[in-house]
Amino acid sequence: MELTTVLAFLVYGCCFLFYHWIYLSLTERRPNLTKKGRINDCYASWLKKTADRDQHLLLVHQLRNMIMSITFLASASILLVGFLLTYGLTGLSVTDDLAISGSLNYPVWLVFFTLAFSFLNLLLALRHINNLTVLVRSDPDKLEKIEGGSAPAYLEKLFRKGTQRYMLGRRGFLYGIVIFFWYVDVWVFIGLTVLLTATLAYQHDF
């Protein structure tokens, strides 16, 4: 494996996996420092208001919009994973002269694992949001007895986890698109990966 290839994997891993791990950890510990942490407070007040006003049907309808988006992205990611399993990872390249055949086709493997990671996070997001749509109408006393905490806090936790997984699933698609620039030049891929991470951090995360 060439040094530039190793560097490309290291940069990608730091920008996509390590950065988001740090970002979500920071959001949990110091929510006021990140935009997502501040938005989570708005989500908590929204859940509390809809529950206090007995507007559970409105809440469920709004969550359905998110469920539809998650389902669409999850379906797209698993279809692309299947496509890569059929063509990209078997040496039957659909990009002809641009691709590297066989096991040396690092960009295709990286896209495959990124989309698989995205799909798993979208499935977990769907699980959390679906549980929320059901448990929002459950008996608060029973929920508190099972979870050992207040019912609104648990519902907020479900929604927060769902949105975090949804964010990782969406961003998996963005980073997956950037990987294809590896076929242009590995340094272009490294530069765009850093640029995408910096853009997300500056405009969306802080």
In angstroms, how far is the first alpha carbon of the chain from the final one?
A: 36
Q: How many residues does the chain have?
A: 206
Q: Give how far the C-alpha of residue 33 lies from the chain's centroid of Cα atoms, to the nearest Å.
A: 20
Q: What is the pLDDT of residue 127?
A: 93
Q: Which amino acid belongs to residue 3?
A: L
Tell me the pTM: 0.83
Task: Please state, as a whole number, how many other Cβ atoms lie within 10 Å of the Cβ of residue 126.
Answer: 20
Cβ atoms of residues 134 and 155 within 8 Å: no
How large is the C-alpha radius of gyration of the chain?
20
Q: Give how far the C-alpha of residue 127 lies from the chain's centroid of Cα atoms, to the nearest Å.
A: 14
Which residue positions in the chain have pLDDT lower than 70?
1, 88-104
Q: What is the pLDDT of residue 88?
A: 63
Q: What is the pLDDT of residue 143?
A: 79
Q: What is the pLDDT of residue 90?
A: 57
CA–CA distance, 86 with 90 (Å, rounded to integer): 7
Q: What is the pLDDT of residue 101?
A: 42
Q: What is the pLDDT of residue 175?
A: 95
CA–CA distance, 156 with 44 (Å, rounded to integer): 6
Q: What is the pLDDT of residue 103?
A: 45
Q: Which amino acid belongs to residue 44?
A: A
32-87 pLDDT, tens digit per residue, is 889 998 988 888 888 878 777 777 777 888 888 889 999 999 999 998 888 887 77
Q: Which amino acid belongs to residue 34?
A: T
